[in-house]
Structure 1
Amino acid sequence: MKILQLIDTLHPGGAERMAVNYANALYDKGHDSHLICTREEGSFKALLNPGVSYLLLNKKSVFDIQSLLKLRKYISLNNIEVVHAHGSSWFYAILCKIIRKDFKVIWHDHYGNSEYLEKRPTQYLKCFSQFFDGIISVNKRLEKWAMDNLRCENITFINNFIYPNEREKNKIHIDNEAFNIVCLANLRIQKDHLTLMKACDIISKKHSIVLHIIGKDFRDEYSKMIKREFKKRSYLVYHGEVKDSFSFLENMNLGVLSSRSEGLPLTLLEYGLAGLSVVCTDVGECRRIVGNNGILIPPGDVRAMREAILKFIKDPSLYCIETKYLKEKIRNHYSYEAVLPIYERFCEKLC
C-alpha cells in the first residue's frame, strides 16, 4: 500500500513519535511509505528512515492555499491510497479530501487529556468527521468517545508501539552513588511535574537522589513556572528535549510518570523496553500497560508518590521479576511486529 503519515511538526511528542514509527515500520514491511510535516520540522526528523519519502509543507496559516495545493499534488503524483493524519493535522487532510476524493483518510486520535473529555473542543471535529474513512484511538476511552460523538463508522483502538530506531548516544553524567530517577515528559501542565518534585523534596532530605527530567520546553506560562521550580532543587537535572532517550533510560534506576491525564503514553513503553522499574499514575492506559509490573498511584498524590519511590530506593531488587515481565509484555503487545499487522488489516478493510 501507499500510505502517507501527516503530522503538524516533528518536535518531540507522542503523536510525532508515532507518525515517525508508523512511517519507518511500514517502510520496513515493504510498503510505499511517506511522511509530510505541515508546519515545521523538529529533532524527530533525524529518526526517519532514509527510505521514507518526506516533504515539509511549511504551512503559514490555517488556510494556506499554496501548501494545501502542494499536499494535493503530492498525493496525486505518488498515488497515495491512505492519508494517516495524526492529531490536529486532520483538518488539512479533510480539506484535501474535499478537493480530491480518491484516497482514504484515517484520523489518529492522540488526545492526552482523555480524563477530561467533557472539556474537549469538538465543534469542528464533529462536523468534519463525516469525511473520515477510519479513526484510530490510542485508548478505549477515546474509542468510546469517538463512537458516541463522531460521524464515522470505522472506529478502532490500536496500541501505540515502540520502533527500534538507531540510537544516538547522549553524553550524560550519571552519579553512580545516587539513586537516579527519570521523568520523560514534555513541559505540559497535565504532566504534573510538581507532584513528583514535592515527593522528591521529602525523599532528598534522607536519601541521595538525582531526578532527571527530559522534555520539550514550550516557552509558555507553565514551562516558565516549572523551570523556575527546577532551579530551586539541587538534586534535579533538566536535560531539555532529546532525539532518542534510550541512552538516558538505560542508565537510570527508576522511571516515573506523574501525569494527571494520559492517552497511551509511549514513555511507559520506553521505560519498560529499557528494563526500568516503573512508578506511574493510574490514568489513561497506564494500568493496562503496567498491570502488576510496577506501582500505580492516584494522580496528584504526593504521599503515594513518595512511598512508591522509597520502596525502590530501600530495596532496588524488589521488583526485578516484575520489570522482566513488563519488558516481555511490551515486546509481545506494544512492538511494531505485534501492532502493525492489526493496522495493515484496518487499512485494507478501508481500501
Structure 2
Amino acid sequence: MMNRKKSNVLFIVTKSEPGGAQKFVYEQILILEDEFNLFLATDTQGWLFEQSNSRLINWFLDNRIKGISFTYLIELIKFIRKNDINLVVCNSANGGLYGRIAAYILKRKSIYVSHGWSSIYRGKKIAFVFNNIEKLLSSISSSILCISENDFIIARTKIRINLSTVKTIPNKIFPVISNKTLSAKDATNKIIRILTVARLDYPKRLDLLIEAFGNLNNVEVYIVGGGPQEGVLRELVEKNLFNNIFLLGTVSSFSDFGSYDLFVLLSNSEGLPMSAIEAMSCELPLILSDVGGCKELIRNNGILVKNDISSIREGFDECIRNVEKFRAESISLFNEKFNLEVNKQEYINYYHSVLSK
C-alpha cells in the first residue's frame, strides 16, 4: 500500500533488459524503498521489472517508449498525474526525452542520469545536433546527475549545461560476493580465465577482444551478454577457429566474477561501467579501454589500454606480472569510492534535495 507521507518517485528507462543503466535503477530501488513510494516506466516485463516489481507501487510498461510516439507521451503524462508522481528519474535517451517533457508539462521535478552521454557516442558526426537537444532538455530538468567526473566534463565543455543544476556522484554498486583469488604463482602455472560482461552492441568492442586473445596460449576468454552483434561475433570465432573464446549469452543477474582471473572491457565509449565496478568488488584486476570515465576506475589495480591489439596484449602481460598488487588495490578502491552499502546515504540526500528545491 502506498504511504501518502512519502514522496512518489518514478524511474524511467527505455529497456528492461540487463544493462548498466538497468542495474543502476534496480539498486537505487533497493536503497530507496524505505524512503519513497517507487514506480517504474519501461518497455516490457524484462529483467529489471522482474527484479524490482515486488518493491514498486505501480508500473507503466509500453513498447512505444523505444520509438518516437506522441501517444506514448500522452499516456505517460496520464500515468504521472494518476499516481501523483513528485519526481521523475530518467535513465536513458528516450526515457530522458519523455520523462522530462512530461514532468515539465505537469510541473513535477525531474532528474536526468547521464550514463555516458548517448548524445556523444550515438550522435557521431551529428553529435552537435543531439548535444543541442540535450542542452534544451537539461534546461527543463530539475537536476542532471553525472555518473563520473568525465561525464561532468562533457556536460560542461561539450553540451554546455548550466552547472547550477549538475550533481556528480560516481556509480556505486552493492559488492558481489566472491571467494576466488589468483596469485602470481597461479598466474604462471595455469590457464588465465578472462571475463567480460557487456551488451554485444556498439560502442563495445568485443570484436577487438576476440582478435586480441583468440587462440593465445594459456588464455581463455568468456563473454557474458547478448545483443545485436552476437551472431556476427560467433561467426568471427568460428571462422578463425578460435577455440579459447566462449560466448555464454545473456546470464540473468550474473555474479560469478570469482571464477575468473582478469576482467577486460573494451569499448569506444563509456560512462563509468557497472560491470567493471562489480569485478573490482571481487578483487579482479582490470584491463579497460582508455575512454570515458574508465580512468576513474584505475589506481594501481589494472591497466588502461588503447583500442589496438598490441596495447591490449601489453596490458595483459602487465596485469599478470602484478596480479597480487592489482587484486588488493581493486578491492581497496572499490570500498573507498564505489561501495553502495557504505555510500547509499549520498543518493538518498540527493533525491531529497531535488524534491525540496
TM category, shorter: 0.7 to 0.9
**How do 1:233-248 residues align onto structure 2 when only pairs under 5 Å count?**
233-247=242-256
Report the RMSD for the aligned CA atoms in angstroms: 2.8
The reply to whether residue 127 of structure 1 matches residue 132 of structure 2 is no
- Displacement after TM superposition at 1:336 (Å): 1.9
Please state whether the residue corresponding to 2:14 is helix, strand or coil: strand
Counterpart CA distance in 2 for 1:127 and 1:112 is: 14
Once residues 277 and 213 of structure 1 are traced to their aligned partners in structure 2, the CA distance between those partners, rounded to angstroms, is 17
From 84, 93, 107, give the equivalent of 1:79.
Answer: 84
User: Which one of the candidate residues 96, 103, 115 is aligned to 1:97?
Assistant: 103
Which residue of the other structure, out of 266, 274, 279, is the alignment partner of 1:266?
274
Offset at residue 321 of structure 1 (A): 3.1
Q: Which residue of 2 is the match for residue 150 of structure 1?
A: 161
- Structure 1: distance between partners of 2:218 and 2:323: 20
Greater share of helix residues, 1 or 2?
Answer: 2
2:330 aligned partner: 326
Give the one of 173, 182, 193 matched to 1:162.
173
Paired position in structure 2 for 1:173:
none
- CA separation of 1:166 and 1:183: change in aligned 2, threshold 3 A: closer
User: Is there any run of 5+ residues in structure 2 with no aligned partner, and where?
Assistant: 1-6, 179-188
* Aligned ranges 1:213-252 → 2 under 5 Å: 213-218=223-228, 222-232=229-239, 233-247=242-256, 249-252=257-260
Residues 278 and 98 (structure 1), Cα distance of their counterparts in 2 relative to 1, 3 Å cut: closer
CA displacement at 1:182 relative to structure 2:
0.7
The CA deviation at 1:85 is: 0.6
Task: Give the equivalent residue in structure 2 for 1:212.
Answer: 222
Using structure 2 for the length normalisation, give the TM-score.
Answer: 0.82
The residue that corresponds to 2:57 in the other structure is: 53
Post-superposition shift, 1:112? 5.8
Kindly tell me: are residues 54 and 305 of structure 1, through their superposed partners in 2, closer, same or farther at Cα, counting changes over 3 Å? Answer: farther
**Is the contact made by 1:23 and 1:34 (CA closer than 8 Å) also made in structure 2?**
yes
Residue number in structure 1 paired with 2:290:
282
Q: Secondary structure at the match of 1:275?
A: coil
Supply the distance in 2 between the matched residues of 1:111 and 1:7 (Cα, whole angstroms).
Answer: 14
Q: Retained in 2: the 8 A contact 1:114–1:142? A: no
Look up the equivalent residue of 2:268 and give its one-letter code. Answer: R
Q: Is the 8 A contact 1:3 1:80 kept in 2?
A: yes
Question: Do the aligned partners of 1:39 and 1:59 also contact (CA within 8 Å) in 2?
Answer: yes
How far is the alpha carbon of 1:132 from its aligned partner?
A: 0.4
Q: Give, in whole Å, the separation in 2 of the partners of 1:128 and 1:7.
A: 16
Deviation readout 1:111-157 (Å, 9 max, x if unpaired): 36698587422343233322101001122232233235235731121
CA displacement at 1:186 relative to structure 2 = 1.4
Deviates more, 1:84-93 or 1:50-59: 50-59
318-327 vs 80-89, which deviates more?
A: 318-327
Aligned length: 328
Q: 15, 24, 41: which is aligned to 1:18?
A: 24
- Secondary structure in 1 aligned to 2:43? strand
Residue by residue over 1:214-253, the C-alpha shift from the partner in whole angstroms, topping out at 9 and shown as x without a partner, is: 12222xxx44432311333211110111222212x11011
Q: Residues 115 and 274 (structure 1 numbering): CA distance in 2 closer, same or farther, change over 3 Å?
A: farther
8 Å contact 1:273–1:327 — kept in the other structure?
Answer: yes
CA contact (8 A) 2:138 2:144 kept: no
| Identity of matched residues, % | 22
Q: 1:230 to 1:48 in 2, by over 3 A?
A: farther
What is the aligned partner in structure 2 of residue 296 from structure 1? 304
Unaligned residue ranges in structure 1 (runs of 5+):
168-175
CA distance in 1, matches of 2:344, 2:318: 37
Structure 1 residue 45: Cα displacement: 2.8
Q: 1:118 to 1:349 in 2, by over 3 A?
A: farther
Structure 2 letter corresponding to 1:195: L
Matched letter for residue 135 of structure 2 = K
Distance 1:132 1:112, change over 3 A: closer
TM-score, normalised relative to structure 1:
0.83
Contact 1:2 1:31 in 2 (8 A): no
Matches within 5 A, 1:23-42: 23-27=29-33, 30-42=34-46
